[in-house]
């Protein structure tokens, strides 16, 4: 009979700071002014948000800055109802990949302005292609949550 090993529960805290560099610093500073900034590839013309230093498609420098509309459409989304370690907010909530107007990538953020008490109604309201608009929090801190969430357009 194989030996049965037990486990014990423990939590590991790992405080750290990310160096944002000049590109992400400018991106987050833009959020503080209610601007969503991306960069445009000088070779293939693709626009990425958050801004990037180099193009993930053709690896060229992305020196051209663009401000994109705070609107887009949902590419995919999920309803999070389970609590787990490390979440930035308590469930339930919806997280989505949003294609902002004029960009060539997905932007991950929360969806709000939706009644989360009935999952069936949530599924009826949110579809791939649902148009959404950024809702800004009142006090900005140059953080991703300066955009409180994206709300479906009526
Ligand atoms: Zn490119």
Q: How far is the CA of 55 from the centre of ligand 1 (A)?
A: 5
> How much is the pLDDT for 154?
78
CA of 146 to the centre of ligand 1 (A): 28
| Model pLDDT, residue 41 | 96
Q: What is the pLDDT of residue 119?
A: 84
67, 36 contact by CB (below 8 A) = yes
| pLDDT, position 2 | 86
What is the whole-number distance in angstroms between the Cα of residue 65 and the centre of ligand 1?
14
> How far does the centroid of ligand 1 lie from the alpha carbon of residue 32, in Å?
27
- The confidence score (pLDDT) of residue 118 equals 87
- Does the model's pTM come out above 0.85? yes
Kindly give the distance from the C-alpha atom of residue 132 to the centroid of ligand 1, in angstroms, as a whole number: 27
Ligand 1 geometric centre to CA of 34 (Å): 26
Beta-carbon count within 10 A of 33 CB: 11
Looking at residue 63, its pLDDT comes to 87
Using CB atoms within 10 Å of the CB of residue 78, give its burial: 0 to 12 exposed, 13 to 18 middle, 19+ buried: exposed
Quote the DSSP letter at residue 54: B
Strand order in the sheet with 36-40: 47-48, 36-40, 64-68
The dihedral built from the CA positions of residue 80, 83, 87 and 90, taken in this order, carries a sign that is positive
Q: Which pLDDT score is estimated for 85?
A: 83
Residue 107 alpha carbon to ligand 1 centre in Å: 18
The distance from CA 51 to its chain's CA centroid, rounded to whole angstroms, is 13
> What are the average pLDDT values for consecutive 10-residue runs of the chain, which has 154 residues?
90 88 97 98 96 95 95 97 89 96 97 91 92 98 97 92
């Amino acid at each position: 009979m194989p030996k049965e090993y037990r486990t014990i529960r423990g939590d590991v805290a790992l405080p750290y700071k990310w160096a944002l560099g000049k590109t992400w610093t400018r991106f987050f500073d833009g959020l503080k002014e209610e601007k969503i900034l991306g960069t445009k590839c000088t070779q293939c013309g693709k626009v990425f948000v958050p801004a990037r230093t180099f193009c993930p498609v053709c690896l060229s420098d992305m020196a051209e800055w663009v401000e994109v509309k705070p609107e887009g459409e949902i590419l995919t989304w999920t309803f999070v109802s389970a609590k787990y370690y490390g979440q930035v907010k308590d469930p339930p909530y919806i997280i989505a990949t949003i294609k902002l107007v004029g960009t060539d990538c997905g932007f991950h953020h929360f969806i709000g302005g939706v009644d989360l008490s009935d999952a069936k109604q949530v599924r009826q309201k949110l579809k791939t292609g649902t148009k959404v608009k950024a809702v800004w929090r009142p006090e900005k801190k140059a953080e991703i949550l300066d955009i409180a969430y994206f709300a479906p357009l009526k």
